[in-house]
Structure 1
Amino acid sequence: MPVVDKPLRDLVNYTTSNPRPADFDAFWAKGLAEMDALDPQVTFKDVDFPVSYASCQSMHFTGTGGSRVHARLVTPKTLPKEPGPALLIFHGYSGSSPDWVSMLPFVAAGYTVAALDCRGQGGLSEDTVSTRGNTLHGHIIKGLDDEPEKMYYRNVFLDTALLAKIVMGFEWVDETRVGSNGGSQGGALSLVCASLVPSLKRCWATFPFLCDYRRVWEMALDQRAYSGLRDYFRRFDPCHEREQEIFEKLGYIDVTHLAPRIKAEVTMAISQSDDVCPPSTQFAAYNAITSDKSYVLYPDFGHENLPGANEKAFQFLMGL
């Protein structure tokens, strides 16, 4: 097996190297209060994708900063007499919500499924929050030179919680039987949603992104999805005089610091040869979770398709 990171015996005990802001809990309490005060102005539009047992809709809601956020919504055509389970799906970096077909197996089992489009990426969500500073190489650094509330991922994280709140409010959804699922950026957002909405029942996350930024930089893997980190330092702090300050600010949007809030049962698929989201960063998030948890290890795989992972996720999430 290629050596990308620490040996497994060290990974299973690794904790994050990224600093946690002193006011971290207050920051997220304030963000959730702002979200709760919003009028989401939810709208639905039927989509011409005929399926005998499912209804497909395009859903929009208003998130923080006034952005209109989009999600694909699929519901059983005949709604259950008793409230049933729901699943929230989050996509990978720069992408968009999955196609209708990939959501149908859950709907066939009686689930309501909502899949978020991250604002300003490949889907239909808009990003109207203006910020000072550089945004050239990725969303991680958007807002880094502004107030923490302007940081891009702060607002995406709150979008996941608002989506959960909206779906849990549907009269045909049992709010005690809601789960989350995603890979890479989607894996991070699946964990984030479970942390900001502790009543989620189950959470599946595959090789989560947005964990332990300092570790990524220390391993010189601040490239591709994390390239914004390297570019930011080279342009704006070439001697790393503000290194502690920068990583501490990134700590507001570090999944490892949110993970202890999770109450859901969690399963993570971890790729041990991953040079995009290094395994130590994945374990940093996993090891911070205090609820019931387990992981499925793929020793020889990187940031790629993990054979059997989708089937394992489906079976796990059928337990909602």
Structure 2
Amino acid sequence: MTVETIRTHDFPFDPTHGYDLDRLLEVGAPEPPPGFDDFWRGRYAEARAVDTAPRVGTVEKERDGVRVHAVSYTSAGGFRVGGWLTVPADGHVTRGMVVLHGYGGRAAVDVPLPPPGTAAIWPCARGLGTRSLDPDIPPVSAGHVLHGIGSRESYVHGGCAADVWCAASALLELVPPAADRLALTGVSFGGGIGALALPWDERFARGALVVPSFGNHPLRLTLPCTGSGEAVRGHHARHPEVTDVLGYFDAAVAATRIRVPVHVGAALFDPSVPPPGQFAVYNALAGPKELFVLAAGHFDHPGLARDEARLLRAQREFLTSEG
């Protein structure tokens, strides 16, 4: 497949950062900080001990053979997460899915819907719109990405990973057949958080990450962007010691611990999430993996609709594969 080359843009920096595909495929993961695995196993154990007490609302809508409900559940620290639950209208569930969103949050269930027979939970990560807003957590990416960043224990991304694990617990309590072939999907912010969550939770059978964020923080800190990474770069300039915390929340380091099959859509050109960080996540994956190369992420271009349709087909084939 020929990938479109993006040549025209108005950004004051090059969103490829000078990397072509060959060079992107060579980007690695940094070394893990001391106690990386123990830290995450501890966070996971805490999340699995939570009584998620899920509550499901009445049907908000029904379309394409799927019923959409409001849902809420308790996550780590007692945080009540809101979102949506989608289930087949005929009640026949053959698989489950936790669907994560980008840093803009979400206001509704995304389209297109997951494969037929899927029961899915669509959480809004803590502090983000529209159903998990909190007065103590900034709802905009530039503030959210810095919330609690002073220590690994308080950093909001740890809580967001717990929201993923607790989402899976809530889904499996509400729809037990969803435990069969449970998958995790995430875009941008959700792709990075998904990579942080996947290694520790044996319930997930496979994953699909699109333009994943938070890969290779030491490299990201050198690359200008229009996304949340720019807020982190600015904070790092004033507080260089933050690198000690960021090491525990590096999606590429976490990917070295992921052994289930993962599909990654990574972009050659992306003003919001620097492509080298995206490819660092893909390159570091320790298990079976499949790459779909996008011309661009977070950028409108003539081939966007075609790329999105091809990516969706590739993802669905990967997620429904029996292999």
Counterpart of 1:139? Answer: 144
| Alignment match, 2:83 | 71
- 1:22-33 to structure 2, matched below 5 A, reads 22-33=34-45
| Alignment partners' CA distance in 2, 1:96 and 1:52 | 20
Partner of 1:285: 281
Which residue matches 1:301? 296
Match of 2:22 in 1: 9
Distance 2:183 2:80 in 1: 23
Matched, 1:262 2:258: yes
Counterpart AA for 1:46: T
Please point out which of 94, 97, 100 is paired with 2:104: 94
Structure 2: 5+ residue runs without aligned partners?
A: 8-15
Cα deviation for residue 71 of structure 1 reads 2.3
- Residue range with higher mean Cα deviation, 54-63 or 287-296: 54-63
State whether structure 2 residue 240 is matched by structure 1 residue 227.
no
Is the partner of 1:261 in helix, strand or coil?
coil
Shift of 1:130: 7.3
CA separation of 1:100 and 1:92: change in aligned 2, threshold 3 A: closer
Match among 116, 126, 150 for residue 123 of structure 2: 116
TM superposition shift of 1:310: 2.1
Is the Cα–Cα contact under 8 Å of residues 103 and 141 in structure 2 kept in the other structure?
no
Q: Secondary structure at the match of 1:189?
A: helix
Give me the TM-score of the superposition, normalised by structure 2.
0.83
The Cα RMSD (Å) is: 2.6
Deviation at 1:52, TM superposition (A): 7.7
Moved over 6 A (4+): 128-131
Displacement after TM superposition at 1:220 (Å): 3.1
SS in 2 for 1:226: helix
Q: Report how far residue 88 of structure 1 moved.
A: 1.5
- Structure 1, 203-212 or 181-190: larger mean CA deviation: 181-190
Q: Is the contact between residue 12 and residue 283 of structure 1 (CA under 8 Å) also seen in structure 2?
A: yes
Q: Which amino acid aligns with 1:16?
A: A
> Which residue of structure 2 aligns with residue 151 of structure 1?
155
Q: In the comparison of the two structures, how many residue pairs are matched?
A: 301
Q: Mind listing any 5+ residue stretches in structure 1 that lack a counterpart?
A: 238-242
Q: Distance in 2 between matches of 1:158 and 1:192?
A: 10
Which deviations, in whole Å up to 9, do the C-alpha atoms of 1:47-85 show, x marking residues without a partner?
A: 3314483332111111122110012101122323xx620
Aligned residue among 41, 64, 68 for 1:56:
68
Tell me which of 166, 170, 177 is aligned to 2:170: 166
Q: 1:215 corresponds to which residue? A: 219
Q: TM-score, normalised by structure 1?
A: 0.84
